[in-house]
Amino acid sequence: MLVVVVVVLVLAARPAPTKGVSDQRAFALATQLKCLQCVGESVGASQAPLAVKFRQEIDRQLRQGRTDDEILNYFAQRYGRQVLETPPSTGVGALVWVVPVVAAAGAVLVLAATFRRWRREQQGVAPSEEDEALVARALADRRDGDGAAS
């Protein structure tokens, strides 16, 4: 069950595949590239001259029938790795992907272990009849006195 949920979540989070030459695909690609002339903006968002040039280049390469990856690689080779908004999945850069997943898995495991320990400890302790009688009396008192109040 959990596995299914995780798989669905991961699949759902992946951006929808883009096909065919269209403005949509060009803009999707442009948002994958960082504008090197501006602060914190993607090529898709910016009107800086370099960003406009990038977009024209994307259009040109799309018309030549290049794939998304080929176009992104072209920019990465020319302007350096930092032009890509997505961090790499190999080398040191991959840590940014791996570490949160490991941390989350660790947290879930620790919680699961804690619950298991709690359940084991709990099995030895059961409320005595006396305890239960006390609780029942307190509840009964509450209900009698409560009546119209709630």
Token digits of residue 4: 């299914």
CA 76 and chain centroid, separation: 24
Asked whether position 24 contacts other proteins by CB under 8 A, the answer is: yes
Shortest approach of other proteins to residue 137 CB, angstroms?
A: 11
Check binding of 2 to other proteins (CB under 8 A). no
The alpha-carbon radius of gyration of the chain (Å, integer) is: 29
- The verdict on 47 binding other proteins (CB under 8 A) reads yes
**With binding defined as CB under 8 A, does residue 124 bind other proteins?**
no
SS3 per-residue string spanning 87-119: CCCCCHHHHHHHHHHHHHHHHHHHHHHHHHHHH
Under the binding rule (CB under 8 A), the answer on residue 44 touching other proteins is yes
Binding track over 63-102 against other proteins, x by CB under 8 A: -----------------xxxxxxxxx--xxx-xxx-xx--
Q: Which of 10, 78, 124, 148 binds other proteins (CB under 8 A)?
A: 10
Task: Tally the residues of the chain.
Answer: 150
The half-sphere exposure of 127 on its side-chain side, counting CA atoms within 13 A, is 8
Taking CB under 8 A as the criterion, the residue among 53, 115, 131, 133 binding other proteins is 115
Structure tokens at 109: 């495991």
Is residue 34 helix, strand or coil?
strand
Beta bridge partners of 84: 33
Binding residues vs other proteins (CB under 8 A): 8-16, 23-24, 27, 31-32, 34, 39-42, 44-47, 80-88, 91-93, 95-97, 99-100, 103-104, 107-108, 111, 115, 118, 121-122, 135, 138-139, 141-143, 146, 150
